[in-house]
Chains A and B, each alone.
Chain A
Amino acid sequence: MADIKKHRSDTKMVPMPTYSIVPERDVNEIPVLETRHLGIEFGGLKAVDDFNLTIGKTEIAGLIGPNGAGKTTVFNLLTKVYEPTSGAVLVNGKDLHGMSIVQASRLGIARTFQNIRLFDKMTVEENVRIGLHNQIRYDMFTGILRLPRYWKQEKYQHERAMELLDIFGMQDLADEQSGSLPYGAQRRLEIVRALATDPKLLLLDEPAAGMNPHETEELMENIAKIRDRFQIAILLIEHDMSLVMGVCEGICVLNFGKIIAKGTADEIQANPAVIEAYLGKRKEAEA
């Protein structure tokens, strides 16, 4: 397991007053994400219940759990796709209550999707340009009349898009239609597009799904690289344990909508509740 740990920084994790641990370096900063007793009910079914999580300013955190545990629902709550029925979400200390998806995005939350949601009919570069939508400003008429501001802003946008595509070495694909890219490249493009919005917190929903071990290894390196370069926090949902254990500093385990364990990778691996959630309870006879 020694080489797998290489992307994980060996920071000491410090407990926070609100049930969570964050990396020591982030202790004096406002946590990028804080959820308090977050919950949502769908017709009496508590899909997520009493979800408390704090993520430090530059932390790479993991959210794991068996299928149907409510992980993606948490992402949908954090990005305001769903309005929570209880509790609060704070991003950089600001309450997201009553905000729209767009407003949450402007506060600095960006995400990728479990079932890829690219703008299929647009090119790779245009996809990234949509991510940059709120970083350039000119109105409709400037665009139609092609005023000087249009050319200046478009040039900036193009250069920035290429810079971002460079993270995954994807500049050569810039003119391809995004829907025709191979699966792995589509997943990477989603990450680039999310990064283009200049987020404070990046949510990755199963980024390694459908990738081979080599690609996963590369992705792990890139996740660490992205954090170091952009100094942002990353929260990822993943079933590939080598990735989660390899790159995540704090891990949160969800089962049936409730947090059953929180801690570092080593603590989680040794936690009996987690093992039980994944492998089931031992029969009395065997014990």
Chain B
Amino acid sequence: MTKAKRKRLIYNLVTYALVIAAYIILQNMIGAKTISRSLKGLLVPICAWIIMAVSLNLVIGFSGELSLGHAGFMSIGAYTGAIISGWLLAAFDMQDPTLRLVLAIAGGGIVAGIFGVLIGIPVLRLRGDYLAIVTLAFGEIIRNLVNVLYVGTADGQLHFAFLNKKLPADVTMLVDGAKGAVKIKPISTFTVGFVLVMITLIVVLNLVNSRAGRAIQATRDNRIAAESMGVSVTKYKMMAFVTAAVLAGMAGALYGLNSSTVVPTQFTFNQSINVLVFVVLGGLGNVLGSVISATFLTVLPEVLREFADYRMLVYAVVLILVMIFTNNPLIRSVFGRAVAPVKGLFRGKKNSVSGGEA
């Protein structure tokens, strides 16, 4: 095994191990009831934001396109998930919450993926700043569309209406315009969230280290050179964009089915920027970094609740300080030296294991 490959393998294993360890510890805390209520309530959102950050990292970090409409895909997933779950319950009397959740997540991913293709076709013809602005616009379009969407279910049928609310009178409302998706039965669980995070990590990490993933990175580093090598730039940009949209849709369904209502204002431009902050803080192309920063920045506002009115101010200051310190070469090198012995230990162990195999 070459040096670069071993380094990558260790990086991937550490990422998986960290997520699995966190899951086991938190599950034990839930079992022992030592977990605070506010943290317990955050577990599913943390999973959703990790998926959002990792999937956006695929677009920004690996494909090199600045997408500012990622929350739009999340809202599509959230709404689709709420509709599917409500419909399955009303029309088929499907009581099993886990099955409903899984179907809702799959549906959210598929619908978001379809929108990813539709949006990707015009958007990915643009480059750089133009692409960023157009994705931003698409995110807003999606939010405004769901703002006037009415969906109801009656006799096992789904009824859709736009703007003028002409649904039959006897329907059970699932999506009620600006009021959002209403009367959702919260069925998301931490375990399903954890599984979804693992799926996301496997998809992104394996994709990046495959033929398609290398092509995606090549189009980021040099478009003309990639084309000259016979790599179809549009195809691979699209692949990254749609994969990210599907994952965001799944995260949206998970997130939406965690509460009793989903409103369009939850998925504004600000939310896209939030995810962008996770990605940039964690490091472009750094999946483990995205996982850590999404977790940290989701928990931080809750921890800062005691600052009351100054909460967002403190949040912003912490953010600035973290950005400065993680990008300071001196601090990085000190940190690097601090973890070097641990790394060395790990490497020594790894070598003996691979030696044993040979």
Contacts and interface: CB of A to CB of B under 8 A. Distances in A.
Interface of A: 79, 81, 100-102, 105-106, 110-111, 113, 117-123, 125-126, 129-131, 133-134, 136, 138-140, 142-146, 150, 153-154, 157, 174-175, 193-194, 196-197
Contacts of B2: 125, 174-175
A105 B230 contact: yes
Given A131-B229, A140-B239, A153 B221 contact: no
A119 B226 contact: yes
Interface stretch (B128-136, B208-216, B258-266, B299-307): B208-216
Interface residues of B, number: 31
Contacts of B212: 139-140, 143
A20 B356 CA distance: 63
A149 to B, nearest CB: 11
A130 B228 CA distance: 10
A133 B231 contact: yes
Interface in B221-271: 221-222, 224-233, 239
Q: Which 4 A-B pairs have the closest CB atoms?
A: A143-B210, A119-B221, A105-B230, A175-B4
A167 to B, nearest CB: 17
Nearest to B284: A121
B206 interface: yes
Given A138-B211, A150-B210, A197-B230, A81 B218 contact: no
A111 B228 contact: yes
A110 B4 contact: no
A114 to B, nearest CB: 12
A205 B259 CA distance: 61
B99 interface: no
A229 to B, nearest CB: 20
Residue among A100, A130, A143 with max Cβ neighbours from chain B (10 Å)? A130
Contacts of A145: 206
B225 A118 contact: yes
Given A105-B228, A175-B3, A193-B229, A133 B203 contact: no
Residue picked from A79, A100, A105, A154, most chain B C-beta under 10 Å: A105
Label chain B's interface by main secondary structure: helix
Contacts of B114: none
Interface in B188-227: 202-203, 206-207, 209-215, 217-218, 220-222, 224-227
Contacts of A130: 214-215, 218, 226, 229, 231
A82 B222 CA distance: 17
Most buried by B among A126, A150, A194: A126
A157 B232 CA distance: 19
10 contacts: A79-B228, A81-B224, A102-B230, A125-B4, A126-B217, A136-B211, A138-B210, A139-B212, A174-B4, A193-B229
Contacts, number: 102
Contacts of A100: 227
Contact of A102 (B209, B221, B232): B232
Nearest to B219: A119
Given A100-B227, A102-B230, A123-B4, 14 more contacts: A101-B228, A105-B227, A110-B228, A111-B228, A118-B225, A119-B225, A130-B226, A140-B210, A143-B206, A143-B209, A143-B211, A143-B212, A174-B4, A175-B2
Contacts of B228: 79, 101, 105, 110-111, 194
Contacts of A146: 206
Contacts of B215: 130, 133
A60 B202 CA distance: 48
A122 B230 contact: no
B222 A153 contact: no
Given A117-B222, A144-B206, A133 B229 contact: yes
Contacts of A117: 222, 224-225
A44 to B, nearest CB: 25
Contacts of A134: 230
Contacts of B3: 175
B283 to A, nearest CB: 12
Contacts of A142: 210
Nearest to B233: A102
Contacts of A153: 211
A102 B233 CA distance: 9
Contacts of B220: 121
Contacts of A150: 210
Contacts of B202: 144
B222 A119 contact: yes
A101 B218 contact: no
B214 A102 contact: no
Contacts of A106: 230
Contacts of B225: 113, 117-119
A102 B234 CA distance: 11
A1 B70 CA distance: 65
Contact of B214 (A105, A129, A144): A129
Interface string B285-303: 1000000000000000000
Contacts of A102: 227, 230-233
A118 B211 contact: no
Contacts of B211: 133, 136, 138, 143, 153, 157
Contacts of A129: 214
Interface string B5-37: 000000000000000000000000000000000
A122 B221 contact: yes
A194 to B, nearest CB: 8
Nearest to A123: B4
A133 B242 CA distance: 21
B29 to A, nearest CB: 32
Nearest to B210: A143
A131 to B, nearest CB: 5
A140 B239 CA distance: 9
A187 B253 CA distance: 49
Contacts of B209: 143
